[in-house]
Amino acid sequence: MQISSILDKFPRVRLMASPTPIQRLERLEQALGDRRREVAIWVKRDDLMGLGGGGNKLRKLEFLLAQARSEGCDTVIAIGGVQSNFARLTAAACARSGLACELVLAQMVPRIDDLYHKNGNVLLDNLFGARLHVLSTGDDPKQFAESRADEIAASGGRAFIATLGGSTPVGCLGYVDCAFEIAAQSAEMDIAFDRIVIPNGSGGTHAGLAAGMIVTGSSASRVRAHSVVSSRESTMSATADKVNAVLELLSVEKRVEPDELNVSGGQLGDGYGIPTAAMVDAVRTVARSEGLLLDPVYSGKAFAGLLSDIEDGAIPPRSNVLFVMTGGTPALYAYADVFAH
């Protein structure tokens, strides 16, 4: 049995063309000079997906929308922050799939300005035809979503609630598949990636990749995650629970402890969605050396972590590092003031 066939029993709605390409950032390496320490930096372009502006959440939504359909749902209610990439891509995927979409957007970042609340992902949410519910500070988004689902049911419909980031065990299957994809590309390129670097927000991308690594016979610690939401300890604990839930879903007996995961909390700064100087520098460095865009909330902080890890030796010299570009670039427009100087 081929490893990838472990996912065949799960229903799936195809939303992206895969595999996404892997590219080396040679111009960036040159620009870093001595800072690079002979580390080869590669990127997996999960930002290059045609639907909805692309991004990692489409991998999750392939399984989540299939689950919604299998449960007879005609509406998807997605929960996220105001500038949620998951919300934006849920809206786009629902438009493609003929499902109604409602977005419950919580106040997760301390900003009240129009730039943040009307531009970026919010602009696209509206273009994709989603119905937006922007909550007030302190409102419970899960409770609101459940109440809306009850109202939809009372009207004769059926709603599927897609929780924060789509990081349920079913949603995480998208990045189990990505781990299989990376393994196949690594073999084809004859390059062993010593580290796979990602941001960790709701934990689903990390959990899926880590579970996929275990299934392929590799180590979960190969995935180096930089937390952008919670502390290192909280992120490790929550992500380990998700990894184990995914392994159970896949009928794999192996389980992980939190300290088996490779997580840094050093790039979180003052909290989720709050810019740091290191993030701004990473976004500008990659843009000016490679013409590629990192987002300010997830990949910008994670790439800053990658550069820091190279400089302090956490990533040893002569390593091959693969950074997963998770997309989210529409958020740059909501943070235009941060990059104005």
Task: State the pLDDT at residue 17.
Answer: 84
One domain for residues 324 and 181: yes
One domain for residues 208 and 139: no
Q: Which residues are catalytic?
A: 84
Last residue of a domain, one of 97, 131, 166: 166
Task: State the pLDDT at residue 1.
Answer: 43
Task: State the pLDDT at residue 94.
Answer: 98
One domain for residues 111 and 208: no
Last residue of a domain, one of 114, 135, 166: 166
* Confidence bin at 341 (pLDDT 50/70/90): confident
Nearest to 83 by CA among 146, 152, 27, 134: 134
**For the chain, what is the largest distance between any 2 Cα atoms, rounded to a whole number of angstroms?**
64
One domain for residues 231 and 290: yes
One domain for residues 115 and 205: no
Residue 28, CB-side half-sphere exposure with 13 Å CA sphere: 23
Q: What percent of the residues of the chain are helix, what percent strand, and what percent coil, each to the nearest 5?
A: 50, 15, 35
Question: Is the pLDDT assigned to residue 71 strictly greater than 60?
Answer: yes
Task: State the pLDDT at residue 227.
Answer: 98
One domain for residues 138 and 179: no
Q: Are 97 and 67 contacting, i.e. CB atoms less than 8 angstroms apart?
A: no
Cβ neighbours, 10 Å, residue 184: 14
One domain for residues 191 and 154: no
3-class DSSP state of 188: helix
Last residue of a domain, one of 166, 201, 235: 166
H helices present in the chain, as ranges: 26-32, 57-70, 85-97, 114-118, 121-127, 141-154, 169-189, 204-215, 232-249, 277-290, 299-312, 331-334
Residue matched to tokens 């192996």: 254
The parent domain of residue 94 ranges over 57-166
Q: Are 232 and 263 contacting, i.e. CB atoms less than 8 angstroms apart?
A: yes
Q: Are 175 and 212 contacting, i.e. CB atoms less than 8 angstroms apart?
A: yes
Rounded Cα distance between 335 and 331, Å, is 6
Task: State the pLDDT at residue 34.
Answer: 80
Residue 21: DSSP 8-state: P
One domain for residues 152 and 184: no
Rounded Cα distance between 19 and 172, Å, is 17
Residue 202: DSSP 8-state: S
Task: State the pLDDT at residue 63.
Answer: 98
One domain for residues 32 and 173: yes
Residue matched to tokens 């004769």: 156
3-class DSSP state of 129: coil
One domain for residues 187 and 286: yes
Q: Are 85 and 228 contacting, i.e. CB atoms less than 8 angstroms apart?
A: no
**CATH number, domain with residue 211:** 3.40.50.1100
Task: State the pLDDT at residue 5.
Answer: 87
Could you give the number of structural domains in the chain?
Answer: 2
Per residue in 149-166, pLDDT tens? 999 999 999 999 999 899
Rounded Cα distance between 221 and 53, Å, is 30
Question: Is the pLDDT assigned to residue 169 strictly greater than 50?
Answer: yes
One domain for residues 193 and 279: yes
Rounded Cα distance between 337 and 316, Å, is 36
Per residue in 184-228, pLDDT tens? 999 999 999 999 999 999 999 999 999 999 999 999 999 999 999
* Confidence bin at 134 (pLDDT 50/70/90): very high
User: What average pLDDT does range 5-9 have in this prediction?
Assistant: 93
One domain for residues 188 and 312: yes
